[in-house]
Amino acid sequence: MHWLRFRHAGQTGFGRLVGDQVEVHHGDLFGSHQPTGQTLPLTDIEWLTPCQPTQMVAIWNNFHALAEKNSYATPEEPLWLLKSPSSFNPHTGLIPKPAVYDGRIVYEGELGIVIGKTTRNVSEADAPAHIFGYTCVNDVTALEILQRDPSFAQWARAKSFDGFGCFGPVISTESPVASAEVVVTVGGRERQRYPLADMICPPARLVALISRDLTLQPGDVIACGTSVGVLPIKPGSEVTVTIEGIGTLANTLAAD
């Protein structure tokens, strides 16, 4: 199933994607819910983020190809940071340019894990039962902010500007197929294509290990990290992130 959140006629809601329609539900996406009997065409809705995370955990250095290219050591545990909730941006949302920064802004196409129940210190074997589904993520980054101050790497700031946490358009409750790839285009040109099978720490292990550090709540998102091919976005360019079985997330960087 594919689930989404939307705004229609001034009201927010959620539902199941069926073709080019939304089968509207009421209740709790992560608990009890039922169809209302109403359907809406996608052309009549405003897309919202498919869930409302309390936090987005972003993973760094989680693909063998990128580690090999940059001579990174393979991490023994997930290397992560948190993106601010104010950065969350839905499918079709405009990515604002930060007022205090005029350097390079880069895309990072990623798989996102959506947590389905309160998760604390679970085993890798039990972790799949805590995963509600998967989504597409564009972990946007203000590149020069990272090392602007040599005394302090500003990972959270570089990745937490308003609109820099794009994810959606839906949550798929099915795991991506073994052969699935993350494909990113910028202005219609393919810039990233890499297999999810190259992941150093796969989803169940990520959930288990991160849950030892902090409690994950229903709707929280883990962005699984990216691979080779990250480049700057030109103002006005649309970035798409496509994962087979989930769909295509599209966002545009605001023009100058």
- Say if residue 32 is in the same domain as residue 93: no
Q: Please list the alpha-helical segments (H only) found in 90-202.
A: 155-159
Confidence band, pLDDT 50/70/90 cuts, at residue 170: very high
CA–CA distance, 89 with 165 (Å, rounded to integer): 6
- Structural domains in the chain (count): 2
Domain that holds residue 23: 1-47
- Say if residue 96 is in the same domain as residue 154: yes
pTM of the model: 0.97
CA–CA distance, 252 with 238 (Å, rounded to integer): 4
Instruction: Give 112-169 pLDDT, tens digit per residue.
Output: 999 999 999 999 999 999 999 999 999 999 999 999 999 999 999 999 999 999 999 9
CA–CA distance, 53 with 178 (Å, rounded to integer): 27
CATH of the domain at 21: 2.30.30
pLDDT of residue 229: 97
CATH of the domain at 171: 3.90.850.10
- Say if residue 111 is in the same domain as residue 165: yes
- Say if residue 69 is in the same domain as residue 157: yes
- Say if residue 139 is in the same domain as residue 37: no
pLDDT of residue 238: 98
- Say if residue 14 is in the same domain as residue 112: no
Give bridge partners of residue 152 from the DSSP assignment: 149
- Say if residue 31 is in the same domain as residue 128: no
- Say if residue 95 is in the same domain as residue 155: yes
CA–CA distance, 53 with 114 (Å, rounded to integer): 9
Instruction: Give 220-233 pLDDT, tens digit per residue.
Output: 999 999 999 999 99
Instruction: Give 18-57 pLDDT, tens digit per residue.
Output: 999 999 999 999 999 999 999 999 999 999 999 999 999 9
Residue 107: phi, psi to the nearest 5?
Answer: -95, 160
